[in-house]
Chain A
């Protein structure tokens, strides 16, 4: 979170995105619901920074201060190793993000929800089931399933049975 604060203060959306991509993997491998918030927050902040109509809006300056304030609190709890408060503070950061996005954003789907979708898809790529990936990131399962359907994740699928064989088995059982 220290790096999140540093990159956000410097308006470095590229480094925030890089940080998000680096921190998602350990979050998934350790199945850590707290740790996973960091890439979600970092990615969301990078998206906000990348949108000119947001950073040039009248409310951005105040919004940015508010976000930094929330992030600073989480850093304090992290340093104190106060896990419960750290978790709560991360929720405050994501609430603040949603608020900023709602006030300034142009899409029905918030940047935070987009971040959840992106990284839930990454969790699925790393071998988590759909439900587990959705559970870890807080993404909606139906949305995630649709999202993954549009990716190439199933193209490396080698189905040893194939439709024909599975259909044969199905009919055999039904007609028993």
Chain B
């Protein structure tokens, strides 16, 4: 069974758009396990459970875990040590005038550590900065430099440490999970192109880092017509 790690950003997008059920369908039909870290559980269930505004979302995710659609990985001592190490490495990749530029928080890093712990190859994360750090650090450097109006440099040693730390992996977002579910006729009852379009835009408006252009480009290549499940 393939293990897919999900970050809190993607869990939030899926839950807020009532699309959590696609995890159940994908798990059943594609023999995958969706795993979250304990800190993702705390961030998306434990904490919001006490904030009225977000309580419903937390309940949805908790139910998804209770129903076995998502598993929570309990950290051990080594996991915690890896988290601390990764925090040090990740926040020393970029520097300005010799000083490290802090861009990531433990919240995002624990999901990355799980990739290593479970030797998983897929991380689902909607958050842009983490994704860019792992995939396109030079593009992220340019973006930081442009927006912060100061010279930002990459510490190549730290970058190499980061790459050596992680196994081979691919990053996807909640948008790709929705597209996958659509291809498997598992997105929603009445699995039409309009349903897919609606899902992608809903995820975008709930914070998935995806542009209008990207969604339109993808939808152009999707066949029209209703595909019944």
Contact = CB atoms under 8 A, between A and B. Distances in A.
Nearest to B212: A155
B127 A129 contact: yes
Interface of B: 2, 8-9, 12-13, 16, 30-32, 43-44, 48, 51, 53-54, 57, 96, 101-108, 121-122, 126-130, 135-136, 139-140, 143-144, 147-148, 150, 170-173, 175-176, 179-180, 183, 200, 204-215, 217-218, 221
A162 B215 CA distance: 9
B206 A140 contact: no
B9 A145 contact: yes
A141 B107 contact: yes
A135 B213 CA distance: 31
B220 to A, nearest CB: 10
Interface string A148-176: 11100011111111111011011101101
Contacts of B211: 154-157, 159
Contact of B9 (A125, A130, A132, A170): A130
13 contacts: A127-B143, A132-B103, A141-B107, A143-B53, A145-B9, A146-B207, A149-B206, A149-B207, A161-B135, A162-B214, A162-B217, A163-B175, A166-B171
A102 interface: no
Interface in A19-35: 25, 29, 31
Interface of A: 25, 29, 31, 108, 124-132, 134-135, 140-143, 145-146, 148-150, 154-164, 166-167, 169-171, 173-174, 176
Contacts of A174: 2, 30-32, 122
Contacts of B183: 167
Q: Which 9 pairs across A and B sit closest by C-beta, in order of nearness?
A: A131-B107, A145-B207, A131-B105, A149-B207, A129-B129, A132-B105, A163-B218, A169-B170, A127-B144
Main secondary structure on chain A at its contact with chain B?
A: helix
A157 B214 contact: yes
A145 B12 contact: yes
Given A143-B53, A166-B173, 18 more contacts: A129-B108, A130-B107, A130-B108, A132-B108, A141-B43, A142-B54, A145-B126, A146-B206, A155-B211, A156-B211, A157-B210, A159-B214, A162-B214, A163-B179, A163-B210, A167-B172, A167-B183, A174-B2
